[in-house]
Structures are given as structure tokens and as C-alpha cells.
Amino acid sequence: MRIILSRKGFDSESGGYPSIVFPEGNLLSLPIPSATDKLCFSELTYENSNVLELMKRLGIKKFTSTSTCHLDPDICKELITRPPDWRGAFGQVGAAQKHLENNNIGVDDLFLFFGWFRKTKKNTYGQMEYVGPDFHLIYGFLQVGEIIRVHNNKNIPLWLSNHPHTNIEKYLEMKAGTNNTIYLASDELTFLRGVPGYGCFKFDPKVVLTKAGETRTHWALPQEFRGIRITYHTDENWKSDYFKSANRGQEFIFEEKILIGKWGCEIIKAGLGI
């Protein structure tokens, strides 16, 4: 099993605000804005609240009821109405997909999705506001159960038809769109039987990548990982007391090692509270 740390959600360029750690510990990764997609922020619901309204309460006011987003990875079931046979899915295309292909990512490999987050609280007026430092954390996962090559594919499952990467016309217009690919979640984790092959986490210190007191790209990866290959990184990314993550790149693939697999398992247990 390979582990891929996959950077997703709002960042300083796409969205411009951190995703949300709610006071009770729930995590909401805000999908990046996308003018070429059809789903609106205003159509998303989380914890019985409209996501666009949640964003406005946090001061994110540059989006309107018609602002569209790219809901991918799609691993939070409650965000929109789902068909009964729905399951988690993640799409990739272009150079990032080529990187996954070149590293032979396939069935049983594990995506751990991370992004830019900040805690929130209700102030004395009962209004939501960001509080404290921002950081990178791992907010969800998907273990690959099936891979669909979308280009000219006539056999896309009906339950998957709302996924943004099934918009074949959009990706055919891209220079590198012919490798448009969707990774479907396994029914259950191969290493934690009874746990679905996808899901979102609640806050736990173990899912936080950023080292306390450091900027968000300075991570507290286990020191035992020194010398293990991580794509887009070299030995120079290891500093004396932290790991400096790359500023660019979506998919960071770890060399397959038993201790990496154990780490991924512990991350999932911590995030799911099991």
C-alpha cells in the first residue's frame, strides 16, 4: 500500500481563506472555486447549515449564491443529496495525474487529503470567527478500490454522474485532459475491516501536520521518516527540528514502507476516533 498526501481545498490563491475547524472539532474542507464547474457553494449543506452562509459568517464574503466550486475529493456524504449507491470518489487530471501514473498508484493505495485550516469559535455576540494560528492538517482519506479512465468512457456509473470529473467536455478542452481519471473508494479499508474506504475526520492533534509554533509548511513528520523518499522533496527538506513541505505540488507520494503504512493507519484511527 502506497500513501499519497494530497493537497486539496482552499489555499491562499484559490479561495484565500483557511478551511474550517468547528468549535466541536468537526472539519470542513472548503472546495476550491471554479468557474467551469456547475455546483454552487449555496447548494452545499453541512451540519444542517448552508455552506455559503457559514462562509459569510466567517467573513468570506466574495462569493455569491451563483459562485461555483469544484467538489473534489468528494468524500463527505452529507454535503449534497446522494443516490443510495453513492461512495467517495476523487478525480485527477493533467500533470498531477501523470505524476500518479508515473508512480504506479493503483488499487489499495491510500490518499490522505490535507489542506489549510484554522480553528473557529463563537464570539460574545454568538457570531463565528477564526481564532488562533492556521496550519496544515489531514482532514480525510480514500483507499482506492477502482480506477476509471474517463476519456471517451461510455460506462460511467449513474451514481457518479454529478462528480466534476465526469464533465468530459470540460476536460477534453484541456491540453492534458485526455488522462482525466477518477479514483473510486474501496468498500472498506483493507487494513481496518469494517471501516468504509473513504471518510472525513474530526480534529485530533495527531492529524495536524504543522509543528506547533511554526508556519504551516513546517511539518512535524516522524523523525523515523528521514531517508524515506517523498516525491517533490529531497533530503534538504529535512531540517534539524521540522520537515519543510514543498510550496507547490498536489500529490506527495511516500515510498512504500511498513512504518509509513502504520502511520497512515494511526492517522485514520485518530481522525475517526477509533
Closest by alpha carbon to 180, among 167, 191, 193, 189? 167
pLDDT at 207 over 90: yes
pLDDT at 33 over 70: yes
pLDDT tens digits, 184-205:
999 999 999 999 999 999 999 9
Closest by alpha carbon to 222, among 180, 167, 164, 264? 264
pLDDT tens digits, 226-242:
999 999 999 999 999 99
Q: pLDDT band at residue 173, thresholds of 50, 70 and 90?
A: low
Q: pLDDT band at residue 151, thresholds of 50, 70 and 90?
A: confident
pLDDT tens digits, 62-91:
999 999 999 999 999 999 999 999 999 999
pLDDT at 34 over 90: yes
> Which range, of 34-48, 144-158, 232-246, averages the lowest pLDDT?
144-158
Classify residue 142 as exposed, middle or buried by CB count within 10 Å of its CB (0-12, 13-18, 19+).
buried
- 195 vs 125: which has the higher pLDDT: 195
Measure Cα distances from 254 to 17, 109, 178, 220, 251 in Å. Answer: 28, 11, 26, 16, 10
- 12 vs 263: which has the higher pLDDT: 263
User: CA torsion, points 63, 64, 66, 68, in degrees to nearest 10?
Assistant: 10
- Please give the sequence-ordered ranges of beta strands (E in DSSP) within the chain, or none if there are none: 3-7, 19-21, 27-28, 32-33, 45-46, 49-50, 69-70, 89-92, 110-122, 128-149, 181-185, 198-200, 218-219, 243-244, 251-253
Predicted local confidence at residue 123, as pLDDT: 87
Predicted local confidence at residue 176, as pLDDT: 61
Give the percent of the chain with pLDDT over 90: 87
pLDDT at 177 over 80: no
Q: List, in sequence order, every residue forming a beta bridge with 138; answer none if it has no partner.
A: 114
Peptide bond into 18 cis (omega under 30): no
Closest by alpha carbon to 100, among 173, 179, 170? 179
Q: What is the pTM of this model?
A: 0.96
Instruction: Tell me which amino acid residue 64 is.
Output: T
Average confidence (pLDDT) over 97-122: 97
pLDDT at 175 over 70: no
DSSP 216-265: TTEE---GGGTTS-BTT--GGGB-SS-EE--SS-SEEEBP--HHHHHHHH
Predicted local confidence at residue 135, as pLDDT: 98
Predicted local confidence at residue 124, as pLDDT: 83
DSSP 18-32: -EEE-TTSBEEPPPE
Q: List, in sequence order, every residue forming a beta bridge with 144; answer none if it has no partner.
A: 185
d(CA 181, CA 165): 7
Would you state the cell numbers that stand for residue 249, as one nine-digit string?
505540488
Q: Which residue has the cell 498526501?
A: 5
Predicted local confidence at residue 61, as pLDDT: 94
- Mean pLDDT, the chain, integer: 94
Are the CB atoms for 73 and 111 separated by under 8 Å?
A: yes
pLDDT at 224 over 90: yes
Predicted local confidence at residue 167, as pLDDT: 80
